[in-house]
Amino acid sequence: MSGGASKRAIAKTGVVTAAGAMSGTSLDGVDVAVLRTDGHDITDFGRSAFRDYSVDERAVIAQGLGQWSGVAVEAATEVVEAAHLKILRDFMDVDLVGFHGQTLAHAPRTLGTLQVGDGAMLAAQLGVPVVWDFRSADVSLGGEGAPLAPFFHHACARYVGAQEPVAFLNLGGVGNLTWVDPRVVAPQTQGALLAFDTGPANAPINDLMQERLGLAYDKDGAVARGGTVETGALELFLAEPYFARMPPKSLDRNDFAEMVALVRELSDADAAATLTAMCAAGVAEAMQHCPSAPARVLVTGGGRRNPVLMQMLEVSLDCPVEAIEEVGLDGDMLEAQAFAYLAVRVARGLPTSCAGTTGVRAAVGGGTVSVPLSAA
């Protein structure tokens, strides 16, 4: 634990109110969401808000992607911290904050993982305990450091009353899948969870839209809808060694940067359709690793708003594919809610990842708790 004597101590038992802040690899902005939990069960969900990045802010962060240090990283850090401070000042009625930061680089098997943003600084500025640096402990113990939402997905499955295995599919910049058996009470118990990154999702589509059309993303799949999938490029994509690796496994946002090169000679519409099909094909490959077929796939993240992508998933998968709103959850805020939930678990010494989610050698509770210095 870092910091000094806190103005507001974190209760060690009972239900507390936490705000989670998430800035994802799609670089759209900062999500903040509140929930109440004891670190095991979700009691209730609270309000949420979104603060989008401006074009200039997004460009600054993008310059830092794939970098581990230097001027670009420092500039990205300043943007990320300022954006989080601005939105979090409206959430000071909580007991603690879970601050994910912005992932700029992720190479767990070699260099590690880098999420920029200083949680201790946020705690000092906001006057509220902040839990941050969620991934480093997992990586140091041999884990992938991602995905980290699965323990929260397990709690969500129980919250909505699921009685059989279900899959949560998050389609942000990178896609990740969590297979959950809600009949297993503790998420760290063998057989409760399997989670891993499925492949690139919105990131290459967004990059294509920005590069060619000056758009942030393919709204409603409108560009892809007018195109034809280039099967040769799709086959080359699926030949990537990543898909043959057994999970758990994770990706950096730019690990499949060559995807854009595969479609460079295609028209805008054909390129968008092909990149969208690559996302769906990666998910279809991933489903083969599930211990058993899930009763349904619940889709969260921006990808669920792309009807072309959703239709491709429905055709590719052997079970119902639905937006997560079908079970009463908020697909825009699920990741922010996840880091609120994980913050409470970290503060109470509970594990946040295990062998089935990141490949870490033993269940581990990652994260640093920073508390604000007292006024004295």
- Token representation of residue 262: 């595969």
Q: What is the mean pLDDT of the chain?
A: 93
- Token representation of residue 263: 């479609």
Mean pLDDT to the nearest integer, 200-227: 94
**Digit-coded pLDDT (tens) for 71-103:** 999 999 999 999 999 999 999 999 999 999 999
Domain-wise residue ranges, the chain? 2-144+367-371, 161-327
pLDDT tier, 67 (very low <50, low <70, confident <90, very high otherwise): very high
- Specify the DSSP element, H or E, that contains 357: helix 355-358
Residues whose CB falls within 8 Å of the CB of residue 328, separated by 6 or more in sequence, listed in order: 160
pLDDT tier, 258 (very low <50, low <70, confident <90, very high otherwise): confident
Q: What is the pLDDT of residue 369?
A: 97
Q: Which CATH number fits domain 161-327: 3.10.560.10, 3.30.420.40, 3.50.50.60, 2.30.30.30?
A: 3.30.420.40
- pLDDT above 90 for 275: yes
Q: What is the pLDDT of residue 373?
A: 78
Q: What is the pLDDT of residue 8?
A: 63
Domains 2-144+367-371 and 161-327 share a fold: yes
Beta strand pairing call for 112-116 and 96-107:
antiparallel
Beta strand pairing call for 166-171 and 297-300:
parallel
- Specify the DSSP element, H or E, that contains 318: none
- pLDDT above 90 for 255: no
| Nearest one of 110, 43, 28 to 340, comparing CA atoms | 43
pLDDT tier, 374 (very low <50, low <70, confident <90, very high otherwise): low
**Digit-coded pLDDT (tens) for 303-331:** 999 999 999 999 999 999 999 999 999 99
Residues whose CB falls within 8 Å of the CB of residue 294, separated by 6 or more in sequence, listed in order: 164, 165, 166, 167, 179, 319
Architecture of the domain whose range is 2-144+367-371: 2-Layer Sandwich (3.30)
Q: What is the pLDDT of residue 5?
A: 34
